[in-house]
Amino acid sequence: MAWRFRCENEGPACHAGRVQAGGRGELRSLWQAEARPTKTQSLAGLGVRLELQGLAIVEMDILYIGRPDDVEVLGLWGDYYRYMTSGRLERPGASIYYEVTGSGPALAFAHGLGGNHMSWWQQVPYWAARYTCVTFAHRGSAPSRCDNPDPAEFAGDLAALLDRLGLEEAALVAQSMGGWTCLDFAIRYPHRVWALVMASTSGIVDPTTLAASDLRKLQEWMSANTGVEADLFRRGIHPAAGERMAREQPALEFLYREIDRMSAGLDKNALRGKLVAARTLPASRLRELKMPVLFVTGTEDIVIPPPLVEGLSAIVPGAKLEIVPEAGHSVYFERAERFNRVVDKFLSL
């Protein structure tokens, strides 16, 4: 049975098309919705899913407006919430929560150890009017589920998620732990990555394989910053947020800690040990990356040493490096306006 549908919002234009019950349909035209609905019914209850422009699977509410085969779709059709959905991807030993917002070329965001899909609250609204933004929680990070998360599975989870969404390629935006996911993915599936952003991360690279001069700078930095991270923890400041964020933007630092606490059941120390053990990729292999690559670091990062990020950026052919002053480990969170502007320019090249 075919369902005709139309959507309604406060704006001047809406999308219309056809979708098969239990199947998929494509939006084909623009028009203005008129009649108001009289009865609501869940679209999921009818087993109907919409594939908007071939980019994302979206489930919405449908509303009867007359004959049973005349259906009105009422959703969030603002500037950047035009297409939005969430779901779970069942993987061996894990259940991965994800959200998809917007339309256009795909951007997949991979969060750090202290975050989840919500960490990108300042990025999704910025890009969703022009890109399909895919956010997810790594296995083990709430609301995803996994009893014993292994970073070796991260890249496979991302590949399976993109497959689920029908996305052949995406630009990857990685923060800290997300760099393990995205760099591993880019090495394994380079044809599926049209751009890579490595923010405050070294990913799976073994730091001891840096060039001698860069390794010396890294060792000097580590000696100068011994104990700083532990001191922040003792003072109740999340190191990934940093002292400046806590001092200048206390509400933002509180939000960071609240998101982190959502995964209170995750043994972060155990996972941190696995992340360190997973750093086995020789730095020289970064020369294999042929897609555009941007590295971002904050001058006050005390989690991932800025000299390490700088050294890695020098290895990737044509890579760009952005060093953000007065920013700690989470540039995307603390200095979102600059982070978004820099990444946006990079993606537009």
Q: Rounded distance, CA 228 to CA 307, Å?
A: 16
For residue 81, pLDDT beyond 50 = no
Identify the weakest region by mean pLDDT among 65-69, 99-103, 296-300.
Answer: 65-69
Mean pLDDT value of segment 183-198? 98
Better-scored residue on pLDDT, 212 or 76: 212
Q: Rounded distance, CA 102 to CA 88, Å?
A: 18
Q: Rounded distance, CA 342 to CA 276, Å?
A: 29
Tokens of 180: 């393990």
What is the tens place of the pLDDT at every residue in 7-63?
333 333 333 333 333 333 333 322 223 323 333 333 333 333 333 333 333 333 333
Q: Rounded distance, CA 135 to CA 117, Å?
A: 5
Q: What is the mean pLDDT of the chain?
A: 81
What's the pLDDT at 83? 59
Better-scored residue on pLDDT, 107 or 28: 107
Mean pLDDT value of segment 97-107? 93
Q: Rounded distance, CA 330 to CA 177, Å?
A: 12
Domain coordinates in residue numbering, the chain: 2-74, 84-348
What is the tens place of the pLDDT at every residue in 202-243?
999 999 999 999 999 999 999 999 999 999 999 999 999 999
DSSP string of 75-93, one letter each residue: ---SSS-SSEEEEEEEETT
Q: What is the CATH number of domain 84-348?
A: 3.40.50.1820
Mean pLDDT value of segment 283-307? 98
Identify the weakest region by mean pLDDT among 74-88, 161-175, 194-208, 326-340.
Answer: 74-88
CA atoms in the 13 A half-sphere facing the CB of 100? 26
Q: Rounded distance, CA 251 to CA 259, Å?
A: 12
pTM over 0.75: yes
What is the tens place of the pLDDT at every residue in 117-151?
999 999 999 999 899 999 999 999 999 999 999 99
What residues contact 305, with CB distance under 8 A and at least 6 apart? 218, 221, 222, 225
